[in-house]
Structure 1
Amino acid sequence: MKKSLSALLVVSAMTTAPAIANDYYHGNKQYQVTVTNLTKGISFTPLFAATHRSGVGLFTLGEPASYEMSRVAEGGDISGLMSQWNANRRVHMTTNTEGLLGPGESVTFTISGKSRFNRLSMTSMLLPTNDTLAALRGVEMPKWGSKTYRFKAFDGGSETNDELCANIPGPQCGGEPFSDDDPGEGYVYPSPGIHGEADLSRAAYQWQGTIGKVKITRIR
């Protein structure tokens, strides 16, 4: 049974769970993360974030996305990815934001790291698109102070970019989130943006290069 995006947002909001409990006395380091949407017409679905060791990745460019990543790319469903990463011993903590992050908006959350668990990865779906991801891939968190990184867009490659609202979930289109019978391009690649075909307007939704910024600050 297919789920609406609103249902997926509820599921996503209920799946926040640390892989290892926040415990300062066990050497945890606390970070404040602020994500700002720099597009003029695109919204981000609830963000998945995780601190982890090197060698853990959301996806590999030029290779097929995992089933869990395809669920994020096509419908903003982070629940499967959350469960997968929580079961990984190389992951320290996972968390997520709630609701859509609109153009020009920012959201802030806290997350912990620990010694060699000093990498941060994040992802969400971009709306309205067929299967485009926002992703931050294993960046190094600051030892002290702050670091700022660019949030980039990647095509999940798991659904054809027909730009038909019937195949795009979210408030702009209200279509179906998943296309199990559509293999798409078959691999993850840097997103070229909105083509301006079918129901999506380049004037309303196109972006160039960086789609957001992520500021990570060590707070403890």
Structure 2
Amino acid sequence: MLKLSQIGLLVSTSAVAMSASFVNAAELEITVTNSTKGIYFTPLIVAAHNSDLFMFRTGETASSELESMAEGGDISGLSSVIGNAGGVVVENPADGILDPGMSTTFYLDSGTMGYLSLSAMLLPTNDGFVGLDSWAIPSEAGTYSAALYGYDAGTEANDELAGSMPNPPFITFGSGGTGVESTVTNDKVHIHPGNIGDSDSSGGISDLDNASHRWLNPVATITIVVK
């Protein structure tokens, strides 16, 4: 069954036992679904790694590589760190942005690696990301699923202003917002409180639309088939 880590996954696990049992699963079929109404995921990074590696830890300061991913969707730093340390990395399995309500399915050969992690920036946010932190890959074949939370990297104030976030053409921002926050209130990685937004497209406190850009956790589902 799924290991509940400190990230507080809401787990709905369905394990289908097979006759074989082994120390490490070699082949994983992974499906990630964006379960939000109006939040987009930047290119995903998914990695199998050992217990000495991790992408992020709640309650700890974000690495510079995590900061780059959470603020701008740049996964190259995390990929390099994990890959150079011997981890198995899958980059951008959705071939770009994962839209609200859409899924991507891909395969990962975990080899001798015992843990699985995942992250991608949430758009539009200042430094929010969807994450899976060091999930222990089961030794028993079967199908496992969980809900994934959105996290705040703690590296940038959540002002929700267009000038502080990437501006892709598929997102319509407002303007003239005064800013929801002006300073970082928690500089450690933590559960994201979600966007606040407002209904004023040319003023108010936020440049985000509360009818489409407001969200609450969880933000995604993951299903992992251990072969």
Compute the TM-score of the two structures, normalised by the length of structure 2: 0.75
Instruction: Pick from 126, 129, 133 the counterpart of residue 133 of structure 1.
Output: 129
Q: Which runs of 5+ in 2 are unaligned?
A: 1-23, 174-181, 198-204
2:21 maps to which residue? none
Matched, 1:73 2:70: yes
1:193 maps to which residue? 194
1:35 maps to which residue? 32
- Quick check: 1:36–1:107 contact (8 Å CA) kept in 2? yes
Q: Residues 40-119 of structure 1: matches in 2 within 5 Å?
A: 40-89=37-86, 91=87, 93-97=88-92, 98-115=95-112, 117-119=113-115
1:53-110 per-residue CA deviation (whole Å, 9 max, x = no partner) reads 2232222222210000000000000001101111114x2x101122100111000111
Larger Rg, first or second structure (1 or 2) = 2
Instruction: Pick from 114, 118, 124 the counterpart of residue 122 of structure 1.
Output: 118
Paired residue type of 2:115: R
SS in 2 for 1:50: strand
Q: Which runs of 5+ in 1 are unaligned?
A: 1-26, 175-181
- Quick check: 2:25–2:226 contact (8 Å CA) kept in 1? no
Moved more, 51-60 or 61-70: 51-60
Cα distance between partner residues in 1 of 2:81 and 2:158: 27
Cα distance between partner residues in 2 of 1:28 and 1:153: 27
Paired residue type of 1:37: N
Cα distance between partner residues in 1 of 2:57 and 2:226: 28
- Quick check: 1:36–1:105 contact (8 Å CA) kept in 2? yes
User: Which structure shows the bigger proportion of residues in helix conformation?
Assistant: 1
Identity %: 37
SS in 2 for 1:82: helix
- Alignment size in residue pairs: 183
2:217 maps to which residue? 209
